[in-house]
Every structure is written in structure tokens, then in C-alpha cells.
Amino acid sequence: MPAGGSIRHPVSHTGVSKVANKAALRQWMRSHQDLWIQPKVDGVAVTLVYRQGQLVQATSRGDGLKGEDWTAKVKRIAAIPARVTGPLANSVLQGELFLRRDNHVQHQMGGMNARAKVAGAMMRQDDSALLDHIGIFYLGLAGRSPPRWMSVCRR
């Protein structure tokens, strides 16, 4: 996918740095407080902006500061609500779009190029039937602490 885009993210997408081995991971964990753990979803990052309960903007990760406008395509993904209420009515959510597959066990069947298929569906100009098979894993409210339902390890 192309880096960058024309839409500025309200909250930048940050990445993670990989550590070389378990010893380096232990050292990194000792130097950080309030760690939280979430499942790894091999998908395509997206930012969703809701204003007065309406989905008004969907943006690809791009270069982390700016991304592509995916609003029209995202509004066609059934897993993403066009309207929300309550505390989410004026919010910025970050998540991962992923390919839903029944009875798929990745460590037995491999990744099936799922991430590339999702990215392709979002980038193509034509209507894609694949949009019906895309789900979303919400990482949380952008720029805020992890949701209460996620495990937090305090030291």
C-alpha cells in the first residue's frame, strides 16, 4: 500500500519496534509501567472518526500521520456501524480490518495472503465483493488508555 495520503490523522498511528530476543523483551518490560496486551490481528490499520454519532471519516494508516480516504468503502463494510451512540458518538477509533474466514486456523493453514486481499479491496476503484467478508478488530479509542476489558499489568 502506498505510504502517506492526503487525510491527516486526528491521532497519529504509531508503530512498535521489534526486539531481538527474549532477554531484550524482558529488559524492555522491566523499564515500562502499565503494560497492556492485545491479540495480534494481521490486518490493515484504519482510523474511524465519528461526529454526532455519524461515521464521517475513515482513513488508512498511510505513513502514520496522513492516510488515504477510505470513507466510501468503509461505509459498505457491514461490521462497521455507520451510527454510534453514547460515549462513542464523538470519538476517534483505531482498528484493524481483517478477512473473516470460517474455521480458519492460521498456524495450520497459513495466512492465505489475507492482509494483501484486504488492502487490495480497499485500494481498488471498482466495487469489491470482498468487502462483505471484511471484519474489524477495534484497538481502542485513539490517544486514550486501553479499554477496561483489556488486561493491564501494573508494576
| % of residues, the chain, pLDDT over 70 | 76
Over the range 107-126, which residues count as b (16 or more CB within 10 Å of their CB) and which as e?
eeeeeeebbebbbebbeeee
Query: Sorting pLDDT into bands at 50, 70 and 90, what band is 150?
Result: very low
- H-helix or E-strand containing 59? strand 54-60
Query: Sorting pLDDT into bands at 50, 70 and 90, what band is 33?
Result: confident
Of 40, 66, 75, 117, catalytic: 40
Does 40 participate in catalysis according to the annotation? yes
pTM: 0.76
Assess whether pLDDT exceeds 90 at residue 59.
Answer: yes
115 grid coordinates: 492482509
Q: How far apart are CA 45 and CA 62, in angstroms?
A: 9
Domains in the chain, ordered, with CATH?
39-141 (3.30.470.30)
Residue-wise pLDDT for 88-126, tens only, equals 889 899 889 988 877 656 656 565 678 888 888 888 877
DSSP notation for 75-134: TT-TTS-SB--GGGTTEEEEEEEEE--TT--HHHH--TTHHHHHHHHHH-SS--GGGGGE
Phi and psi at 67, nearest 5°, equal -140, 180
In angstroms, how far is the first alpha carbon of the chain from the final one?
39
Output the pLDDT for position 149: 47
